[in-house]
Homo-oligomer: A and B are copies of this chain.
Amino acid sequence: MTDSEPVIGPATYFRPEHRTGLDARTLALVDRREAVLSPGYRLFYAHPVEFVRGSGTKLYTRDGDEYLDVYNNVPSVGHAHPRVTAAIAEQSALLNTHTRYLHEGLVDYAELLLASFPAALDTLTLVCTGSEANDLALRVATGATGHRGVIVTENAYHGVTTEIAAISPSLGGVGSLAEWVRTVRPPSGDGTAMVADARAAIAALQAAGHGVAALIVDTAFASDGFIAPSAETRAALAAVQALVRAAGGLVIADEVQPGFGRLGTRGAGSGAAEATLWGFPRHDLEPDLVTIGKPMANGLPVAGLVARRDLMRAFGERVRYFNTFAGTPVSIAAARATWEVLHDEQLPEHAADVGDELRGMLAELAGRHDRLRGVRGSGLYLGVDVVDPESGDPDSPAAVALVSGLRERRILISASGRDNAALKLRPPLPFSRADAERFITELDGALEDLG
């Protein structure tokens, strides 16, 4: 499983040979688009889809056809949520400046957000994208430690700036990484592999003169196959964290995708490990820096870095950093409204409940279709492998066929993973039990069609 669009297999994309199957309007728009946008842009589906309207968990085409969205994690409180869009409209009509003037909204939001973190993580810096957040986290870490080395999991994805693409093996494999990057296996199984790898990575980085600036992990380990927290993962991560700290390095939790309740929250009073909007406490990780983004403002470019104050003080003394578009009144109004909807509609708790039901339905379906295997994940961030029924091996063509079949059945989903043979589910959080049933019915049908 991978956690990011860039690593979704090319087979689910539109390619020139698909042109012949398109209606005239779609073909004309595709051709105009390809004439002006970079050839690096990709369109989903052999039969691309054009949406003009969204609401909740549904997207609508020009012709009014309704699609169920099991793919989009950015509009986390639902497409075009009226409270968020009203907040954006209202603030846009008033004022949109920057953080060098006082603005109460920024301070209010920062206080709300930081209250959801452990006390030591008391300092917020706003940026525009998850890539910028991880880029800044690494700048802080390399400056604070005086080291250059970075440790990532073996199929990690953290973003697209020059610096962050160089620590993202999922974008192009280990060969694309910078010389100061080492990979470790995720804390799966009994976790000993990760600890052994971390020991070796630290030794190698020190031997090469890079030292260890940071370990950075996606706390859902989504691109490494979704690692559920357990006594073993906690022990492994505690050991790795201690090794990194002993080498003078910092720990960065990348919550850009798992954060803001996507993994499901059990409620503050429950005493459960899931009584949090974030992934890192579930693994007992104690990060020095936490990056957040994607669902933060339900679609406006808002992201952030939450950190220990001493680290940011040292950074601020050493480096002048100002991000023009970050923390503006409109961005913050959108983030604040998203935060309020998340809480007022109890979406993280809903994600836990409906996620459990959906996982159960998927497991039941996997019991009836031997092409499905390995249902996993947490809350509304789930994955399931598509395999060859005979060999049990990952079956990328079948996964791609399912994604296409589901698109024709008006369900949006993606195939991803290192083998491009896993289905990844990450719908807007208001995803209902009825949505789950509709999805399962159509997946069942698409599996039947596959034979």
Contact = CB atoms under 8 A, between A and B. Distances in A.
Interface in A24-41: 26, 29-30, 32-33, 35-41
Contacts of A321: 6, 40, 160
Contacts of A294: 324
Contacts of A135: 161-162
Interface string A1-43: 0001111000000000000000000100110110111111111
A95 to B, nearest CB: 5
A7 to B, nearest CB: 7
Contact of A107 (B32, B89, B136): B32
Interface stretch (A73-81, A202-210, A341-349, A439-447): A73-81
A322 to B, nearest CB: 5
A320 B80 contact: no
Interface stretch (A260-268, A309-317, A396-404): A309-317
A99 interface: yes
**Max count, chain B CB within 10 A of own CB: residue among A44, A49, A130, A321:** A321
B122 A95 contact: no
A294 to B, nearest CB: 6
Interface in A45-93: 48-54, 59, 72, 74-75, 79-80, 82, 84-85, 88-89, 92-93
Contact of A172 (B79, B122, B165, B320): B320
A120 interface: no
Contact of A125 (B38, B92, B309, B322): B38
A305 B317 CA distance: 32
Contacts of A228: none
Contact of A72 (B33, B50, B97, B313): B97
A319 B37 contact: no
B325 A95 contact: no
Contacts of A94: 52-54, 80
A91 to B, nearest CB: 9
Contacts of A291: none
B162 A163 contact: yes
A177 interface: no
B97 A59 contact: yes
A334 B165 CA distance: 29
A138 B162 CA distance: 8
Interface in A86-133: 88-89, 92-104, 106-107, 110-111, 114, 122-125, 128-132
A48 B99 CA distance: 11
B80 A312 contact: no
A307 interface: yes
A95 B36 contact: no
A72 B98 CA distance: 9
B125 A30 contact: no
B330 A299 contact: yes
Interface of A: 4-7, 26, 29-30, 32-33, 35-44, 48-54, 59, 72, 74-75, 79-80, 82, 84-85, 88-89, 92-104, 106-107, 110-111, 114, 122-125, 128-132, 135-136, 138-139, 160-163, 165, 171-172, 294, 298-301, 305, 307, 309, 312-313, 315-317, 319-326, 328, 330-331
